[in-house]
Amino acid sequence: MLLTATLLISCPDQKGLIAQITSFLKDNNGNILSLDQYVEASDNRFFMRLRWDLQGFAIDRKEIGQSFHYLIASKCQMQFSLYFSDEKPKMAIFVSKYSHCLFDLLSRVQSGEWNVEVPVVVSNHEDLRTVAEIYGLDFKYFPITEATKLDQELKQMELLQDLKVDFVVLARYMQVLSNQFVMNFPCRLINIHHSFLPAFKGSKPYHSAYERGVKIIGATGHYVTADLDEGPIIEQDVTRVEQNDSIHDLVRKGQDLEKLVLARSVYYHLQRRILVHGNKVINFKS
Amino acid sequence: MLLTATLLISCPDQKGLIAQITSFLKDNNGNILSLDQYVEASDNRFFMRLRWDLQGFAIDRKEIGQSFHYLIASKCQMQFSLYFSDEKPKMAIFVSKYSHCLFDLLSRVQSGEWNVEVPVVVSNHEDLRTVAEIYGLDFKYFPITEATKLDQELKQMELLQDLKVDFVVLARYMQVLSNQFVMNFPCRLINIHHSFLPAFKGSKPYHSAYERGVKIIGATGHYVTADLDEGPIIEQDVTRVEQNDSIHDLVRKGQDLEKLVLARSVYYHLQRRILVHGNKVINFKS
Amino acid sequence: MLLTATLLISCPDQKGLIAQITSFLKDNNGNILSLDQYVEASDNRFFMRLRWDLQGFAIDRKEIGQSFHYLIASKCQMQFSLYFSDEKPKMAIFVSKYSHCLFDLLSRVQSGEWNVEVPVVVSNHEDLRTVAEIYGLDFKYFPITEATKLDQELKQMELLQDLKVDFVVLARYMQVLSNQFVMNFPCRLINIHHSFLPAFKGSKPYHSAYERGVKIIGATGHYVTADLDEGPIIEQDVTRVEQNDSIHDLVRKGQDLEKLVLARSVYYHLQRRILVHGNKVINFKS
Amino acid sequence: MLLTATLLISCPDQKGLIAQITSFLKDNNGNILSLDQYVEASDNRFFMRLRWDLQGFAIDRKEIGQSFHYLIASKCQMQFSLYFSDEKPKMAIFVSKYSHCLFDLLSRVQSGEWNVEVPVVVSNHEDLRTVAEIYGLDFKYFPITEATKLDQELKQMELLQDLKVDFVVLARYMQVLSNQFVMNFPCRLINIHHSFLPAFKGSKPYHSAYERGVKIIGATGHYVTADLDEGPIIEQDVTRVEQNDSIHDLVRKGQDLEKLVLARSVYYHLQRRILVHGNKVINFKS
């Protein structure tokens, strides 16, 4: 397996940036595997994703970050993060009663499609304990009432910290998380909303879509922020509604979309192909 | 060319409706070419589209409506409308400055793709006079200010009445029509909105879509009602946004969608494949 | 749960068919829930799907078939089949080494999304035994060499007969079945092919697609016939290829398509929304 | 209007390429507007598209090519081409009897959507003379029989040379061009084929698609090579077939696809967002 490094970069745009960054690679015998860059016109900000082969790279992997910071980043007001392909992130999954997204995520983990570890499945209901357990995973039940909510969230956060969880996937978790919880996981809390946002925010989007008579329904994978259903959108997809489709059919078609869009959102996150800028996601192609 | 009749039917659902209606055809030697039916569960209402070959049909075409009313419709609280394939409806087109939808509509008319007549192109600007005129069409200019608007609308309605216009297509007409105008054309006023409604109502939807960071944009063909952008949706379609797409790219991609969705909306209307029920469109497949 | 009956009908087209059939329902106090009909123009053949509420229906369910045969079908050279919504078909799943389709099918069965029983998972490899067993299913291993193939197939057919299997799903089963096997399951053997047929028949379609430089890849669910990859197509879907996609990416994207298209194909089969006519599938909308 | 330069580059992959190329820009005070690069793994070849602002660029535009050749390209076995945004290419359009693509292309030219000049419309039939002429364009009629074909093609080539035509668009031109003609326009001859290639090559693809019972139809924009329907694919798109769609409906839906896919193919060509490598097209995103 090829060992690679990935740099995600963000800084004010200026002439010569790409030359500087790629010269850093060249000067250290790095072979670029992919490079994608983007300039946000509205505020003249530069974004880049760079992936290179570590074999033969002149700088020891432990020193790359420091070296890059000293030689490049510090001179350009640059923020960057650095990842290595042999790191295996830890993903917690939050669910309630719907099983379709959980089944889909776990089968991808189990089959080796994704390089990720799932230390725990968390739920406010007992219903999906079996699903987690047939996959050999730890299942933690946190019943939630209005009165216990904040307290239970504190325990959930403690658990996630203990397990060194890197990011959390809300796989149709039917509780609105408190701002405090959300603040603890900036750009590390992925939710699937069962509509084509910004259409049909809030609860019961399939019912609203049916009522409105739309000809297409959608699903949206996004990072969670303090504003409900307003976070940066990672991925969306849609499917067509037929005249004879009942609300039950919309739910059935929609659940297939939810699985697909959530899986793609998690995949992009795992691949480090995403940067968040303001309330928007920059999606790198490669 | 086959001469056919099309019935669009709406009534409270009840047992035996289809048998009664199709027996009317059978008893009069009618050969059904297509039949599509739908029951709206929420209020138990039955809808049907029926098309048959007029050759050899026992009832004279002038008597069919009366006969059907007497034998069937009057007994079932049924509303119906009857169309013949050799009728050529009159469609007026309203435009402002964008030419893409106008070009697309006119090329379909000119090439014989649609069986429709365009007695006039109406605009609040002079910009597209040339486009109408190279297609040999009459172009009427109605400049509109806040002060003259209602007055000009009265003249427009007079013109449409004089020309016996059957329905009006707003092909990116950038004026909000008054309720009075709208009321005059119930289910006969087709608009193209350049977003995936109900997302991004109002003006500048491409800018709003860009700001929100959606991954897909859309267009919506709908009948106009008194509530702006809230009328029954006839057709929608979408296209994907790429990371590098500027607002200019969204407009470019979106205009291709607008052309397509508006054309399909007009086509379904011309084919009599639509019934409006409350604020929803029933789309018959055949 | 509503108890319903579904009729699938095929006969030479003739005037009055729908009136006759729906009058049979009306005369016996049947409330039609959905009706879809289609005439194949090339050979003037009529197809219909009819579903109605059994509550209050005048004929006992055991007598419906005989009664319909006597009163209608026998007079119109009609073939028909009759299904009841409380029947639970038995579906066998054949797999080899890829797990994605198996996971997807089993999670739909497990979650109750489909009304179907899976008496056995069959494979020519041991790899997916665990997957079947975590879902509590019987897994039968039939190793196959050129020499043992026909013999093993006989044993497979015996097993399927013993288990009263209604239909078989080839969920990326990497063996070509003999004609003898195929003949035993006419229209009851569903395969997923990992290309947009008829493009890229045969093996390694993702590689062929990559070589040809297509911009879109697809998957096809079809009934298996003696001609490999030539059977009646039940469902297809596609997804876009990006410039940077490697063959590995095509496989990854394609597997999501395979899951979706196979699941829809099985769903339509379970819903009795399919009739096979010659080498084509008639898909009823309702 | 921003004046920009675009470089399209192809060479054997090697370490440091991007650094070298972007340093050339940096050293001459060039502001990169977009950069997209791709490595073809099968033969380790590097491709790049680079666009930059000419304002303030240190090298005179007449010298850029020579300078780049001397400093970079000659050292890396690099092929490159250089374009400026104020150049207006000349596009000839070949048609036969179908008007939909011609209408669509001309309305894009007329409305100013594309920066291109159309010096002539060529046809082997007189049918579309009017369409060309209402747009004020020159229309040349070359009737073709088997006997006159090569002779007429010679005259067509002469005409295209006289008019300094840059590339030719076959907008449903129903003649197979000779190899000699094709050789004269390498990567400068764009055709629209009315199927999802490689499915349904040759004539009457809609009929073949109908016969095969596919659930989706497509259209393909490609460069023409000596092998009919085998040239490098620029763009493809698809649309869904409904059960009730006749061949006539497939043609109707397909023609909308043809317009869209041909327009996108021409747009990418005009934008210099394409490189041909072997029998594949490299599509740059930006």
DSSP state of B222: E
The reply to whether residue B19 touches residue C23, judged by beta carbons under 8 angstroms, is: yes
Q: Mind telling me how many Å the CA of A232 is from chain D's nearest CA?
A: 22
Query: Which chain B residue lies closest to D128 (C-alpha atoms)?
Result: B111
List the alpha helices (DSSP H) in B72-143. Answer: 100-110, 129-134
C8-46 pLDDT tens trace: 999 999 999 999 999 999 999 999 999 999 999 889 999
Contact C13, C39 (CB under 8 A): yes
Q: Which residues of C touch D246 (CB under 8 A)?
A: 41
> What is the ipTM metric for this complex?
0.95
Tell me the residues of chain B between 3 and 22 that have a Cβ less than 8 Å away from chain A. none
The residue written with tokens 């004089």 in the block is B162
Tell me the residues of chain C between 170 and 209 that have a Cβ less than 8 Å away from chain D. 196-200
DSSP state of B73: G
Q: Residue A133: what pLDDT?
A: 94
- pLDDT of A1 strictly over 90: no
Closest to D142 (Cα-Cα) out of D163, D161, D164, D158: D158
The reply to whether residue B103 touches residue D99, judged by beta carbons under 8 angstroms, is: no
Q: Residue B278: what pLDDT?
A: 94
> Chain A contact for D23, CB < 8 A?
yes
Print burial letters for B122-142: b (CB count within 10 Å at least 16), e (below 16): bbbeeebeebbebbebebbeb
Element at C277 (helix H, strand E): strand C274-277
Query: Which chain C residue lies closest to A267 (C-alpha atoms)?
Result: C252
Q: Residue C64: what pLDDT?
A: 98
Amino acid at C77: Q
Separation between Cα atoms, residue C135 and residue A102, nearest integer Å: 15
Residue of A256, A266, A267 to mutate when probing chain C, most C C-beta within 10 A: A256
> Chain C contact for D214, CB < 8 A?
yes
> Chain D contact for B235, CB < 8 A?
no
Query: Which chain D residue lies closest to A16 (C-alpha atoms)?
Result: D26
- pLDDT of C69 strictly over 90: yes
The reply to whether residue A19 touches residue D22, judged by beta carbons under 8 angstroms, is: yes
Comparing CB atoms, the residue among D34, D100, D242 nearest residue B111 is D100
- pLDDT of B149 strictly over 90: yes
Series of mean pLDDT values for 10-residue runs along chain D (286 residues): 95 96 97 95 95 96 98 97 97 98 97 97 97 96 96 98 98 96 96 97 95 98 94 98 96 98 98 97 94
Cα B177 to chain centroid, rounded: 17
Subunits next to A (3 or more Cβ pairs <8 Å) are B, C, D
The mean pLDDT of chain C is 97
Q: Which residues of D touch A16 (CB under 8 A)?
A: 22, 25-26
Contact D40, D67 (CB under 8 A): no
Comparing CB atoms, the residue among D232, D238, D246 nearest residue C41 is D246
A184-219 pLDDT tens trace: 999 999 999 999 999 999 999 999 999 999 999 999
- pLDDT of C1 strictly over 90: no
Tell me how many residue pairs between chain B and chain C have CB atoms under 8 A apart.
Answer: 45
Q: Residue C286: what pLDDT?
A: 87
> Chain C contact for B161, CB < 8 A?
no
Query: Which residue among the candidates D13, D127, D229, D245 is catalytic per the annotation?
Result: D229
- pLDDT of A127 strictly over 80: yes
A219-228 pLDDT tens trace: 999 999 999 8
| Segment A17-38 mean pLDDT | 96
Strand C45-53 to strand C31-40: parallel, antiparallel, or no bridges (unpaired)?
Answer: antiparallel
Indicate the SS3 state at residue C1.
Answer: coil
A139-165 pLDDT tens trace: 999 999 999 999 999 999 999 999 999
What percent of chain C stands above pLDDT 70? 100
| Segment B94-99 mean pLDDT | 98
Domains parsed from chain C with CATH numbers:
4-84 (3.30.70.260), 91-283 (3.40.50.170)
Tell me how many residue pairs between chain A and chain D have CB atoms under 8 A apart.
Answer: 44
D200-213 pLDDT tens trace: 999 999 999 999 99
CB atoms within 10 A of CB D69: 14
Query: Which chain C residue lies closest to D243 (C-alpha atoms)?
Result: C283
Encoding tokens for residue A180? 């405090």
Q: Which residues of B touch A207 (CB under 8 A)?
A: none
Amino acid at C1: M
Q: Residue C276: what pLDDT?
A: 97
Residue B1: which pLDDT band, with cuts at 50, 70 and 90?
A: confident
A89-114 pLDDT tens trace: 999 999 999 999 999 999 999 999 99
Query: pTM for the whole thing?
Result: 0.97
Closest to D237 (Cα-Cα) out of B257, B222, C256, C259: B257
C-alpha separations of A26 from A4, A31, A53, C152, D23 in Å:
15, 7, 12, 59, 12
Q: Residue A184: what pLDDT?
A: 95
Q: Residue B220: what pLDDT?
A: 98
Q: Residue D267: what pLDDT?
A: 98
For B164, counting Cβ atoms within 10 Å of its Cβ (0-12 exposed, 13-18 middle, 19+ buried), the class is: exposed
Contact C89, C98 (CB under 8 A): no
Tell me the residues of chain B between 61 and 90 that have a Cβ less than 8 Å away from chain A. none
| Segment A122-139 mean pLDDT | 96
Q: Which residues of C touch A286 (CB under 8 A)?
A: 244
C194-233 pLDDT tens trace: 999 999 999 999 999 999 999 999 999 999 999 989 999 9
Torsion of CA C75, C81, C87, C93, to 10 degrees: 170
Query: Which chain A residue lies closest to C127 (C-alpha atoms)?
Result: A111
B200-253 pLDDT tens trace: 999 999 999 999 999 999 999 999 999 989 999 999 999 999 999 999 999 999
Comparing CB atoms, the residue among A199, A213, A235 nearest residue B199 is A199
Q: Which residues of A touch D39 (CB under 8 A)?
A: 33
Residue of A85, A103, A130, A237 to mutate when probing chain C, most C C-beta within 10 A: A103
The reply to whether residue B135 touches residue D135, judged by beta carbons under 8 angstroms, is: no
